[in-house]
């Protein structure tokens, strides 16, 4: 295994913790969400997805330990305590969709990382997954088909967009710039954010909801690409 200098090691630690946080968040929400799925087949589908999320977390956890970085669960525990849980089946549907999408877009930036072990994890998981165009559970789409529900639907989209966007880190930070310079990551946080948001546009249009801007989310977002 490659030996990293102190700066590279510090940035790699944050990258691994960020990926672990996204996967543990997704796993915990999947487990919590089983209560909202009455059909056995839906529960089976959800538990298979839960197992895949936990396996990906375990991959990162093993690498974190191999690099001598300590206990990964303890490192992300405080962040996990701030993550809310869905309260309805339709919120679960959109929440999981956004969490899955953000994880996929984040992984795409590490498939050719100079950390070969992490690049292998990312490449393997990307080959196993396909970025969904919309939630597997139609509950949220059905909810938004009633115009009177769309204001609440928009609130839920905004809520989980904030959570998932924050999981990517701050665009244009010193660590973001250095991660690119050190080839730990092939895309800037701003590019990952933009690709994530742009890919959501067709789904939100189908729900007759808006893709919110930074002001609506209370975040500073990268500008859309000029056509």
The dihedral through the CA atoms of 172, 173, 174, 176 has a sign that is negative
- Residues constituting the chain: 227
CA atoms of 167 and 19, how far apart (whole Å)? 8
CA atoms of 49 and 31, how far apart (whole Å)? 10
**What integer pLDDT is reported at residue 226 of this predicted model?**
59
CA atoms of 160 and 96, how far apart (whole Å)? 9
CA atoms of 195 and 33, how far apart (whole Å)? 27
Residue-wise pLDDT for 173-206, tens only, equals 999 999 999 999 999 999 999 999 999 999 999 9
Q: With a cut of 80, say whether residue 172 has pLDDT above it.
A: yes
Fold of 6-217: Ferritin (1.20.1260)
- In the numeric block, which tokens belong to residue 218? 């209370």
Residue-wise pLDDT for 65-91, tens only, equals 999 999 999 999 888 888 999 999 999
Closest CA to 138 of 92, 105, 101: 92
State the chain's mean pLDDT as an integer: 93
Contacts 24+ apart (CB under 8 A), 166-172: 166/219, 167/18, 167/21, 167/22, 167/25, 167/102, 167/106, 168/18, 168/102, 168/106, 168/192, 168/193, 168/196, 169/14, 169/18, 171/220, 171/222
DSSP codes of every residue in 21-55: HHHHHHHHHHHHHGGG--SHHHHHHHHHHHHHHHH
Element (DSSP H or E) covering residue 140: helix 139-144
Q: With a cut of 80, say whether residue 19 has pLDDT above it.
A: yes
CA atoms of 62 and 52, how far apart (whole Å)? 15
Closest CA to 35 of 43, 27, 24: 43
CA atoms of 12 and 66, how far apart (whole Å)? 13
Contact 190, 105 (CB under 8 A): no
3 pLDDT band, cuts 50/70/90, is confident
Q: With a cut of 80, say whether residue 223 has pLDDT above it.
A: no
Query: What number is the average pLDDT over the span 98-124?
Result: 95
């Amino acid at each position: 295994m490659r030996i990293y200098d102190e700066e590279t090691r510090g940035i790699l630690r944050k990258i691994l913790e960020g990926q672990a946080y996204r996967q543990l968040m997704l796993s915990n929400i999947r487990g919590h969400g089983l209560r909202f799925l009455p059909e056995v087949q839906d529960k089976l589908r959800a538990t298979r997805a839960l197992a895949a999320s936990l396996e990906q977390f375990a991959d990162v956890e093993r690498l974190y330990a191999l690099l001598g970085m300590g206990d990964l669960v303890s490192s992300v525990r405080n962040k996990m305590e701030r993550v809310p849980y869905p309260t309805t089946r339709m919120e679960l549907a959109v929440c999981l969709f956004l969490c899955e999408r953000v994880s996929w877009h984040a992984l795409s930036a590490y498939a050719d990382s100079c950390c070969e072990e992490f690049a292998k994890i990312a490449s393997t998981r990307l080959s196993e997954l396909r970025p969904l165009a919309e939630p597997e559970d139609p509950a949220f789409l059905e909810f938004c088909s009633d115009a009177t529900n769309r204001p609440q639907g928009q609130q839920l989209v905004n809520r989980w967009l904030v959570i998932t966007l924050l999981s990517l880190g701050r665009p244009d930070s010193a660590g973001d710039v250095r991660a690119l310079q050190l080839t730990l990551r092939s895309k800037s946080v701003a590019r990952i954010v933009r690709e994530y948001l742009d890919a959501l546009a067709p789904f939100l249009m189908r729900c007759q909801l808006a893709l919110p801007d930074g002001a609506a989310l209370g975040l500073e977002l990268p500008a859309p690409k000029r056509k």
